[in-house]
């Protein structure tokens, strides 16, 4: 048996003590691993039990009804509107701030220290520095948060404003800028119908004054093509005899219609719309919205065939006159026939705004919460990065404090670093968000999401605020982390 000599100055007792300590550490680690395994087993069992209870007593989810808070909804909906100016003006302002620090550096010791200290990692000095790698570690999550915010803002904008494409397509076929509908909040996703006798009287009075009117109807339905079904929004207009859309009555088959190119149905093909045979005699371009392919046909065909109700009142009608003139006609018609049936005078722009309000209230709260969550993730990630950096550099920070440096000077230098990271995270994340916002266009028919100035500004704001906010949170405790009494020996 080979016997190794003890190191100089070591006794057999000290070696045995080390062996005992190592054995005890091994036992503690074994116990910790056992407790970890038991804990994870309990968590797994709890998850299984919770799932069984959920499916047995609540269907497929845990849920609880809460009172609807209209004020909260309206506040959350405005998040993007608040963030956009921050990104739009905050990024240039932050760049200007960094430039000002650099410009002051030759003449001001505080600015010189902040510029130099914020551009390097003290703990990396003396070794090989991976600038891009370090940057990725610092701002990676903040970039992801900014990209997510750009993506959600792009989705929110498309959901809110996308339906206007179909409205514009219909409006272009109906002359006049003023509409008469059942109520002032009317829009494409709700029902509207001006009572037949009141509508007839209004149009007769308008005609007697030499003012043209044009009625229109809408139908939300489903069409089938090539063995698959899709949702649609068809508009019905008054088609004169010489119009290619003219139906002429009779059997509900081979009805001519204009259909948007997003349907992928070429001219001459037939669709089954609400179970009715419709022929594509022409196309529109870029007039569909989220999962709603738009189409246009003779109003009588739409009411008699698609809606299966030839006596159904028109959704509304346009009047080639201003709102005041139109309102006077409506008032006169009411008085003449003694009608109290609802009828509201609105502009085409108000009609579009009603659609945006509807979709804002349905989707914006969700996307705004996602933007806030993205900013929260960015802030936590940057706070964690700042905390790690303070711990890595606590020796140098403590030495500087011991040498008389002010805590405020160190905080200022670190905030300059955070500003640089914020610009990178905001701009980089917003740019990464552009292709992300476009991807849904391939998986949602009629969708045309993207990232414009507003969406890019929202993403930039999330990256910038996440970086600055996360750094500020951790810098509150800088003096405690870099306490000279603990980090230095004087």
Task: Specify the DSSP element, H or E, that contains 216.
Answer: strand 213-225
B/e letters for 297-318, b = 16+ CB within 10 Å, e = fewer, are bbbbbbbbbbbeeeeebbbbbb
Give the whole-number percent of the chain exceeding pLDDT 90: 50
Q: Is the pTM above the cut of 0.95?
A: no
> How many angstroms separate the Cα of 55 from the Cα of each of 48, 59, 64, 100?
11, 5, 15, 61
- What gap in Å lies between CA 259 and CA 225, rounded to an integer? 12
Task: Specify the DSSP element, H or E, that contains 4.
Answer: none
- Residue 218 · residue 234 · CB < 8 Å: yes
Q: Which of 2-11, 16-25, 298-307, 380-389 has the lowest mean pLDDT?
A: 2-11
Q: Which of 222-226, 375-379, 433-437 has the lowest mean pLDDT?
A: 375-379
Q: Is 228 helix (H, G, I), strand (E, B) or coil?
A: strand
> How many angstroms separate the Cα of 368 from the Cα of each of 70, 80, 153, 162, 164?
15, 6, 8, 18, 21
Beta pairing partners, 217: 236
Give mean pLDDT, residues 86-92.
Answer: 95
> How many angstroms separate the Cα of 147 from the Cα of each of 82, 366, 373, 461?
18, 17, 12, 11
Average pLDDT of the chain?
85
pLDDT band at 15 (very low <50, low <70, confident <90, very high): very low
322-343 pLDDT, tens per residue? 999 999 999 999 999 999 999 9
Task: Specify the DSSP element, H or E, that contains 174.
Answer: none
Q: Which of 38-52, 286-300, 449-463 has the lowest mean pLDDT?
A: 38-52
- Quote helix, strand, coil % in the chain, to nearest 5: 60, 15, 30
- Evaluate if residue 273 carries a pLDDT over 90: yes
123-148 pLDDT, tens per residue? 554 444 444 445 555 678 889 889 99
Give mean pLDDT, residues 189-199.
Answer: 91
- What gap in Å lies between CA 159 and CA 365, rounded to an integer? 12
């Amino acid at each position: 048996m080979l016997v190794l000599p003890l190191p100089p100055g070591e006794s057999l007792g000290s070696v045995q003590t080390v062996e005992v300590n190592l054995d005890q550490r091994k036992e503690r680690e074994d116990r910790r691993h056992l407790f970890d395994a038991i804990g994870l087993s309990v968590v797994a069992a709890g998850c299984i039990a919770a799932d069984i209870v959920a499916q047995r007593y609540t269907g497929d989810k845990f849920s609880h009804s809460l009172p609807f808070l209209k004020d909260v909804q309206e506040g959350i909906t405005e998040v993007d509107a608040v963030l956009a100016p921050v990104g739009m003006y905050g990024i240039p302002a932050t760049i200007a701030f960094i430039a000002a620090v650099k410009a002051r550096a030759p003449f001001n010791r505080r600015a010189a220290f902040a510029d130099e200290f914020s551009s390097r990692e003290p703990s990396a000095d003396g070794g090989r520095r991976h600038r891009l790698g370090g940057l990725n570690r610092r701002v990676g999550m903040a970039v992801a948060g900014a990209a997510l915010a750009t993506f959600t803002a792009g989705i929110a904008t498309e959901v809110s404003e996308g339906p206007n494409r179909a409205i514009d397509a219909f409006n272009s076929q109906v002359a006049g800028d003023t509409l008469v509908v059942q109520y002032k909040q009317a829009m494409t996703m709700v029902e509207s119908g001006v009572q037949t006798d009141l509508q007839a009287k209004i149009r007769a009075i308008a005609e007697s004054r030499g003012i043209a009117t044009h009625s229109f109807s809408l139908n939300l339905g489903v069409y089938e093509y090539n063995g698959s079904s899709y949702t649609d929004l068809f508009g019905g207009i008054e088609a004169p005899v010489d119009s290619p859309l003219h139906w002429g009555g009779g059997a509900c088959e081979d009805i001519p219609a204009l259909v948007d190119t997003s349907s992928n149905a070429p001219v001459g093909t037939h669709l089954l719309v609400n179970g009715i045979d419709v022929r594509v005699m022409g196309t529109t371009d870029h007039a569909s919205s989220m999962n709603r392919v738009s189409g246009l046909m003779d109003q009588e065909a739409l009411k008699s065939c698609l809606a299966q109700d030839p006596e159904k009142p028109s959704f509304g009608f346009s009047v080639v006159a201003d709102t005041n003139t139109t309102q006077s006609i409506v008032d006169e018609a009411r008085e003449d026939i003694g009608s109290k049936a609802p009828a509201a005078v609105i502009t085409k722009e108000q009609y579009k705004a009603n659609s945006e309000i509807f979709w804002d209230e349905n989707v914006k709260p969700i996307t705004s919460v996602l933007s806030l969550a993205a900013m929260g993730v960015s802030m936590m990630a940057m706070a964690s990065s700042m905390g790690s950096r303070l711990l890595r550099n606590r020796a140098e920070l403590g030495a500087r404090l011991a040498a008389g440096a002010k805590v405020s000077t160190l905080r200022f230098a670190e905030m300059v670093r955070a500003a640089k990271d914020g610009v990178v995270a905001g701009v980089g994340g917003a740019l990464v968000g552009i292709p992300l916002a476009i991807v849904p266009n391939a998986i949602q028919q009629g969708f045309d999401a993207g990232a414009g100035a507003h969406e890019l500004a929202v993403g930039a704001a999330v990256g910038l605020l996440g970086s600055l906010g996360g750094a500020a949170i951790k810098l509150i405790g800088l003096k405690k982390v870099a306490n000279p009494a603990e980090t230095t020996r004087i």
